[in-house]
Structure 1
Amino acid sequence: MQVHGSYKMTQIKTILNGILVGMLAGGVVSLFRWGIQHMMAFMQFLYVGGLKQPLLIAAGIGINLMIVLIVGFFLRQQPDIKGSGIPQVEGQLLGEIDYPWWSVLWRKFVGGILAIGSGLYLGREGPSIQLGSTLGQGVAHFTKQVGFDRQVLISSGAAAGLSAAFNAPIASTLFVLEEIYHNFSTNIWVVSLTSAITSDMVATYVFGLKPVLYMKSNPLPLRYFVWVIILGIALGVLGRLYQLVILRVGRWYQQLLRIPWYFQSLLPLILIVPLGAYFPRLLGGGSSIILHLTGAGYSTLVLCLFFLIRFVFSMISYGSGVPGGIFLPILCLGGLIGATIGSVAVEAGWVSQVYFSSFIIMGMAGYFAAISKAPFTAILLITEMVGTLTHLLGLATVSLIAYGVLDLLNGQPVYYSMLQQLLKVKQQYHLGKTVQIMTSVFAGSFMDGKTVSQIPWPQGSLLTKILRNGIEIVPSGHTLLRWGDTLYINVSTKNQHAITVKLTGLSSES
């Protein structure tokens, strides 16, 4: 067994890289947010003003037609800017997908501002994650870092991008661990947290300290938790409906529209004009309507109407393939579900009005927890975005129930399912190449307590290094694996995903 003492210097290097990536991502994503906000305000002025001055509505239509052409041209040149970008990032970290960082970065930036800023029901968070990851890829390119070191920079950039989008550094780090890596490796979370905090500092300097979805609220008392159960069940069922539709809407576009796929945004960008004129508060990702739910006094019927409009047009917007995410739209739909059930409870006199906002907050967390199957991220994300810790028990309960209901309905994590669809389209498997991946040995797993020679390693994989308590070990066939070990494994990029799944099964809890 050989032990190397360079681990601490490596950690310092990765942390410094995380700070650099965080600063870059914070600046770019803050500018991205600023551009979307100002463009959406201008488009909202055109849509609403068009009800009295037809020239304004004509200008809005003209601008949207230009957006169709510009974004369509970008998509044709670089298809990897399509959609939210999160499946692309996951695929890149799995080694199934790769793309030139600069080509994606500037097109995603400009295309995202145009598409989301037009008022389409899309979120900024998915594009922000891809923007951050491409910046991490760019840093790796200029510093000539490859293999696992490159992966770390890409994942830290993803965390930094989400952190700058939502001012939620803890949840952003957890999102990378829970949604992308599916384990809590020290190597990943240290640099991801570093970049996320750095990015959040930059965004906070630009947009201020106020949480993105701050609202006055009172936590729901335990005597009302039967409503949490009802809400969790509703969120799980409707979350499964969301998954079924969002994973099919792209296929429906191809069947209904006889135009090139990269110009399919023509449909939503025409429909957004009347929607923007009559329902201006519903434009964009949904933060505006979320913040006005508590004080607007909408009836249950109106809340149901808003949910239906948001649900249908969110699908139409995302299905067109333009750069834009589903993260914030999911939170908006969850908030509307929570508001609807809360409205029923309040109007019937079963729950006090002072707890109405709790239903909105729990609805957002539960809906995201169900659809993404990332409950820890959902709980922390809403906590950071709302700016209070008092709802943790309700958030945890509703997230667990919604997650369980969706699991019973055979739901899969939506971003993972999107990645599988993307891989079917791309068919991007490379022969003769390898990439380094990392996995942790969990207590009770098949690997725990066995020697290297006793492990049925998948064909196309090679264990090259073990990291144990900060010490690097060069393994031999007699090296005993223990829980807590981090394994560095070279795998063939041919069928890499299948190999990675087998390795994860061997190292995860039985």
Structure 2
Amino acid sequence: MQVDNIKRFKSVLYGVMIGIAAGLIVSLFRLGIENLSKGFLLLAKQAKHNLGFLVLLILINGLIALIGYTLIQKDKNIKGSGIPQVEGLLNGELTYSWWSVLSKKFVGGILAISSGLFLGREGPSIQLGATTAQGLSKLFKQNSDDEKVLVSGGAAAGLSAAFNAPIASTLFVLEEIYHNFSTSVWIVSLSAAVSANFVSSAIFGKVPVLHMQYSHVIPLHIYPYLIGLGIILGLCGMIYEFATLHINYLYEKMSWVPNIVWITIPFMLVIPFEMYLPTIVGGGSTMVLLIAKVTPTLTILIWFLIIRFFMSILSYSTGLPGGIFLPMLSLGALIGAIYAQILISYGVLPQIYFVNFIIISMSGFFACVGKAPFTAILLITEMVGSLQNLMSLAFVTLVAYEVTDLLGGSPIYNEMLQKMLSPQKLLTSGKLTNLYFSIQVGSVMDQSAVKDINWPDGCIIRAIKRNEQYIIPDGDTVLKAGDNIELSTNYDNRGYVYSHVEKLTLDD
């Protein structure tokens, strides 16, 4: 018992050290984005009246596109949000140099996000926190299993420092990234998240990121309308996920267009918005607070939704360091605002509940796209700084989640990871590695013959271990629950093969 107590105490200490380090790095990341963003908006304001400033803005954005493209070419693991990469690292499906990712993600993320692209800081913050913890684990000389625990703590610290939401950040790592609620994981993650939140609060203050002024709780007789809101959020979430995951297929069909062109296009398109509609650019937090304060007309809200939907998709498709976390919340807020305005116009919803619908819609939209309902509820609660909407948040979140679940929606970050792991060309030579799986009762493999399984290309079955006996399989060998199978594949294909076969061994 004493040994366990000492181990938990050490876990807390590791978590605190990781939280302080990650909190400082992510806070510097936030400061860089905020200060550079002000410079871009000031330049865009001058460009409205001065052609020279407009040319300068175009040249700067073009240069940032080139820098971002160069950084991605040097290390592909800095692309996009960073959350799928962290999940792949914790699953053992990806490996990368922590310093390379930390340095390039830091620089590339500040440049891309501050330029006005419709990207969020939270995904990169999670990866920055995770890679910081990865570096510290090398310093602490941790083994591979302990390193994963520390990396999970770093991921929680990164999100906490980005949003000042330590509880939701811890739950996000447990629910969405690490998929493990073991004592060591949650102790390190919570310690790191609280420490990182302390650091960021000391720098940015204690006011919640999306703090809104409202005082009314949605009454029960309004809840039937919340069912409709949940259904709409679920359907919109499916559309958003499909567009985000498949836009690159369109680029691949036009392979004659260089990638640098696709990266440059959003940088050029964002300039008019920076000049004439600055509140709509970036991650979306400024816009969410604005619509909650001034209540725009239905027409304006619809235009905001269209612009942010397409620009968010285009911005993320560049592969530049930047997340979809905050852009997702802003889209949810707009959908909720539009729905509320329609109900208000028909006289079925009092105006005083407009802000409530914005808040609960952010939770519902994130839950149905990220498939992390508990995180969604707690995250919005912490970001808004109020428990008043907890019941309605949970209600709409559950409805939206079930809609996407019934339609076959998958967690978007997991889908992004699978796209990363799927090789463009399976390697058939080079270093080999062995992968091991255990077949569960009720899985696809249980009671199926080897020849009837849809095995991924580029792997072979070496052996089956059953009741301490090894079996050399052939096509007619029937697999059973409890069997341990050993596969061999090329080292560079291990992530793709592992993720494919794991689904076949698990009970759905």
Preserved CA contact (<8 Å) 1:433 1:494: no
Preserved CA contact (<8 Å) 1:68 1:263: no
Preserved CA contact (<8 Å) 2:418 2:499: no
Preserved CA contact (<8 Å) 1:73 1:262: no
Q: What TM-score do the two structures reach when normalised by structure 2?
A: 0.86
Whole-angstrom distance in 2 between the partners of 1:76 and 1:495: 25
Whole-angstrom distance in 2 between the partners of 1:425 and 1:40: 36
Matched with 1:261 is 259
Whole-angstrom distance in 2 between the partners of 1:260 and 1:8: 57
Matched with 1:369 is 367
Relative contact order (alpha carbons < 8 A, sep ≥ 6): 1 or 2 greater? 1
Q: Which runs of 5+ in 2 are unaligned?
A: 438-445, 447-466, 469-479, 488-493
Q: 2:155 aligns with which of 145, 153, 158?
A: 158
Whole-angstrom distance in 2 between the partners of 1:82 and 1:123: 13
Matched with 2:385 is 387
Q: Indicate whether 1:71 and 2:73 are aligned.
A: no
Question: Which deviates more, 339-348 or 377-386?
Answer: 339-348
Matched with 1:473 is none
Whole-angstrom distance in 1 between the partners of 2:109 and 2:202: 23
Q: 2:111 aligns with which of 104, 109, 114?
A: 114
Q: Deviations over 1:263-292 (max 9, x none)?
A: 632111111111211221101000000001
Whole-angstrom distance in 2 between the partners of 1:434 and 1:387: 49
Preserved CA contact (<8 Å) 2:436 2:485: no
Matched with 1:303 is 301
Q: 1:179 aligns with which of 167, 176, 181?
A: 176
Matched with 1:458 is 484
Q: 2:341 aligns with which of 340, 343, 347?
A: 343
Aligned partner letter, 2:270: I
Matched with 1:6 is 3
Q: Indicate whether 1:190 and 2:187 are aligned.
A: yes
Matched with 1:408 is 406
Matched with 2:27 is 30
Whole-angstrom distance in 1 between the partners of 2:235 and 2:495: 37
Superposed CA RMSD:
2.6
1:123-134 paired onto structure 2 within 5 Å: 123-134=120-131
Preserved CA contact (<8 Å) 1:169 1:193: yes
Distance 1:8 1:224, change over 3 A: same
Aligned partner letter, 2:224: V
Q: Which runs of 5+ in 1 are unaligned?
A: 438-445, 447-451, 462-491
Whole-angstrom distance in 2 between the partners of 1:74 and 1:259: 20
Whole-angstrom distance in 1 between the partners of 2:424 and 2:205: 41
Q: Indicate whether 1:206 and 2:208 are aligned.
A: no
Whole-angstrom distance in 1 between the partners of 2:425 and 2:381: 39
Distance 1:195 1:344, change over 3 A: same
The structural deviation recorded for 1:382 is 0.1
The structural deviation recorded for 1:495 is 4.0
Aligned partner letter, 1:84: S
The structural deviation recorded for 1:7 is 2.9
1:55-94 paired onto structure 2 within 5 Å: 55-94=52-91
The structural deviation recorded for 1:181 is 2.7
Q: Deviations over 1:280-334 (max 9, x none)?
A: 1101000000001122231111101100000000000000111100000000000
Distance 1:266 1:257, change over 3 A: farther
Whole-angstrom distance in 2 between the partners of 1:45 and 1:257: 37
**SS state of the match for residue 350, structure 1?**
coil
Distance 1:494 1:211, change over 3 A: closer
Aligned partner letter, 1:251: Y
Identity of aligned residues (%): 45
Preserved CA contact (<8 Å) 2:44 2:54: yes
The structural deviation recorded for 1:259 is 4.3
**SS state of the match for residue 459, structure 1?**
strand
Preserved CA contact (<8 Å) 1:83 1:325: yes
The structural deviation recorded for 1:257 is 6.5
**SS state of the match for residue 178, structure 1?**
helix
Aligned partner letter, 1:362: I
The structural deviation recorded for 1:498 is 5.0
Matched with 1:396 is 394
Q: Deviations over 1:75-111 (max 9, x none)?
A: 1111110000111111111111110000110100000
Matched with 2:250 is 252
Q: Deviations over 1:388-409 (max 9, x none)?
A: 0010000000000000111121
**SS state of the match for residue 248, structure 1?**
helix
Question: Which deviates more, 108-117 or 217-226?
Answer: 217-226
Q: Indicate whether 1:285 and 2:283 are aligned.
A: yes
Whole-angstrom distance in 2 between the partners of 1:498 and 1:155: 23
Preserved CA contact (<8 Å) 2:159 2:169: yes
Distance 1:300 1:114, change over 3 A: same
Question: Which deviates more, 270-279 or 96-105?
Answer: 270-279
Q: Deviations over 1:114-173 (max 9, x none)?
A: 000000000000000000010111011112212210100111111100000000010001
Across the two proteins, how many residue pairs are aligned to each other? 463
Q: Indicate whether 1:238 and 2:236 are aligned.
A: yes
